[in-house]
Amino acid sequence: VDDSLVFTDLEPGRIYHFYLRSFCGQDRWSPWQSFSFETKSAFDECLSAIEIIPSPTAECDTETFTTHGATDSGIPATLCSGIPDDDVWFKFTATQRSHSISFVNFCFGGGTGTGPGRSFMTDICQPMIVELRGQTCGDSIYACMEVLPGLTRTLGLPWLEIDSMYYIRVYAADT
């Protein structure tokens, strides 16, 4: 009996549920068991950071992202406390000496992390850590802030170098 199954074309950062039971012989089956798994986020690593295009005006587009499916990128936290085991990455090229980016912690839950197992069904409401990094894939950290659940904070960037690439790493404060 072939006991493996390969799923293709799954969406990144999404939770999937499936059910399983065993055939015990003589028309007997085990009870159904429910399982879940989460696919890896599409912007889980610095090299796959989502590009943000700075707006030349104060009018900006709003987009929603999550840390679902995010894992540890292997870069330790430095200025802010927290465990970056569910970090996601963004990048932008400075078009002016000053930019501002606002972050809202909607509290949709965190990624899988590397800590003790947790239910994928439960949203986790915890502070969000935002880091501004530069150089090659975020080797240098310039700023850090914490965004509490349900709140909005703006990262003001008054000293940027025009045409330089900057990286933003976001992760939940706890495992």
Q: Is the pLDDT confidence value at 114 over 50?
A: no
In this prediction, residue 139 carries a pLDDT of 79
pLDDT of residue 64: 80
Is the pLDDT higher at 111 or at 2? 2
In this predicted structure, the answer to whether residue 117 has a pLDDT above a threshold of 70 is no
Containing 150, the helix (H) or strand (E) segment is none
d(CA 43, CA 91): 10
CA dihedral 161, 101, 89, 70 (to 10 degrees): 160
How far apart CA 15 and CA 22 sit, in angstroms, is 23
What is the CB-side half-sphere exposure of residue 51 using CA atoms within 13 A? 4
Q: Indicate if the pLDDT at residue 120 is higher than 60.
A: no
- pLDDT at residue 160, as a whole number: 92
pTM of the model: 0.74
CA distance 92 to 50: 9
Residues 154, 142: Cα–Cα separation, whole Å: 15
> Do the beta carbons of residue 123 and residue 67 sit within 8 Å?
no
**Residue 175 reports pLDDT greater than 60:** no
CB neighbours of residue 4 within 10 Å: 4
Rounded to 5°, the CA angle 129-134-137 comes to 90
Range from 62-71, 94-103, 113-122, 163-172 carrying the lowest mean pLDDT: 113-122
- Residue 122, pLDDT score: 39
Residue 81, CA atoms < 13 Å, CB-side half-sphere: 3
